[in-house]
Amino acid sequence: MERRGRVEGKVAIVTGAGSTPGPGIGTGKASAVVLAREGASVLLVDLYPERAAETRKLIEEEGGTCHVFAADVTKADDAEAMVDAATHTFGGLDILVNNIGRAQVGTVVDTTEEDWDQALAINLRTAFLASKFAVPAIAARGGGSIVNVSSISALRGDGTIAYSAAKGGMIAMTVDMAYSHGRQGIRVNAIAPGHITTPMVMSVSAPGPRAEFMNAMRSEAGLLGTPGDGWDVGWAVGFLASDEARWITGAVLPVESGVLSVTPLMMAPYLRAIAEPDG
């Protein structure tokens, strides 16, 4: 794809920049590729560097600039080292994309304390620590953009209590960071993806009728009736990171085919057709 230069000369960090093995593309990988296509130098951060290496291969094949950095961003030392690596490798930092996330089904009753703590560590603590060390570096460059990848699970129920709480916390953190750092020239926004299909989603879906039902529902659940994937999130990241969004901060951008506007009643005919295909 042709590089258009919307973030030309900028330096970006994308956490969770590799994709889970499998078909399709994850949100972190797509975000990193989009930013590189738009002219940014990208630090590809992932707990599994071999996954980030696949992202690097794609970026470099297209003529982009990037570097892989292995880190466990639940740890403050790793988060600080990540920011240091970006500034030392590329000369500064302008953009941070907090993309690390993992969902687990469970209600407030059956979710264990260990699952709760792990969900908050993976989905919220990582964004806190990455931002803690990134904000001073971005401010030193005169400002920039932080994009937090949250979820519509923060805005509606779906039986993932710990994940939903963590992603809701990310939205609250987004608003407070926008308030606290706006006069430093730092814009902070969140994206709330909907029922997109990514390798991570597919990896937790057992093959068979149930998986086929879930895949169909992701397309049919929204107002557009079309499937979404990691690229839809990546394109939104590219916009919010660019100067085209220069007057947008403290906002939550749903990327979800209008599913937040759909009522269960509207979905009933489709759900019956899937449940009773011969009816």
Pick from 208, 183, 211, 194: nearest CA to 252? 194
Cα of 179 vs its chain's centroid, Å: 21
Q: Is 270 a catalytic residue?
A: no
Query: What six digits make up the tokens of 102?
Result: 């993992």
255 DSSP β-pair partners: 193
The three-state secondary structure class of 211 is helix
Compute φ and ψ for 144, nearest 5 degrees: 170, -150
Give the H/E segment covering residue 116.
helix 113-120
What does the alpha-carbon distance between residue 163 and residue 105 come to, in Å, rounded to a whole number?
A: 8
Close Cβ partners of 123 (under 8 Å, ≥ 6 residues apart)? 100, 101, 102, 163, 166, 167, 170
Among 48, 163, 179, 270, the one annotated catalytic: 163
Close Cβ partners of 69 (under 8 Å, ≥ 6 residues apart)? 43, 44, 45, 49, 52, 81, 82, 85, 86
What does the alpha-carbon distance between residue 22 and residue 44 come to, in Å, rounded to a whole number?
A: 19
The alpha carbons of the chain give a radius of gyration, in whole angstroms, of: 19
Close Cβ partners of 235 (under 8 Å, ≥ 6 residues apart)? 30, 34
List, by residue number, the catalytic residues.
163
